[in-house]
Structures are given as C-alpha cells and as structure tokens.
Amino acid sequence: IQPSLVQSMARTVLDIAVESGIAVLLVEQSLDLVRTLTQRCVFMENGRMVEEAPSGCLRPDSDVVLRHLSV
C-alpha cells in the first residue's frame, strides 16, 4: 500500500479508537508509524508475548529493537 495511504488509514483508526475509547491492536513493521500511533509495544515470538516496551523508547538502535526486530 502507498505510504501516504497507510498513514491516512492509521490516523483514521487512531481517531476512531480515541473517540470510542477502545483499544486497537496494530501489527506493523514501520517503526516510525508504530512510535507515532501507539503507547506501548509488545513483542511476540512463537505466539507468546516475550517483551513489552513503551513505544516512545523504540529507537532503531535500542536493545529491545535489536533483540526482536534486527536480522
């Protein structure tokens, strides 16, 4: 999907969540988008939650990102 469309869709979902007070599960590979739209990030391996971190702490060189998202 075109990046601007992804941003627009994400903003719409966030607006709906805020207006209705519901939680939203976002599965996304763009670290910038995750940091912009979320409050916390949960890392999963083999269907199990293995770590959690505030989204504001997610930087490309942070330990949690390097452990779970690097190749």
Q: What is the pLDDT of residues 13-61, one digit of tens each?
A: 889 989 999 988 888 878 888 888 888 889 888 999 999 999 888 888 8
Identify the bridge partners of residue 45 per DSSP, sorted by sequence position: 48
Look at residue 50 in the predicted model and tell me its pLDDT. Answer: 94
Beta bridge partners of 49: 44
* End-to-end Cα spacing for the chain: 23
* Spacing of C-alpha 6 from chain mean position: 13
Spatial contact of 62 and 69, defined as CB atoms under 8 Å apart = no
Nearest to 23 by CA among 14, 31, 32: 14
Q: In this structure, what DSSP letter does residue 61 have?
A: T
pTM check: above 0.85: no
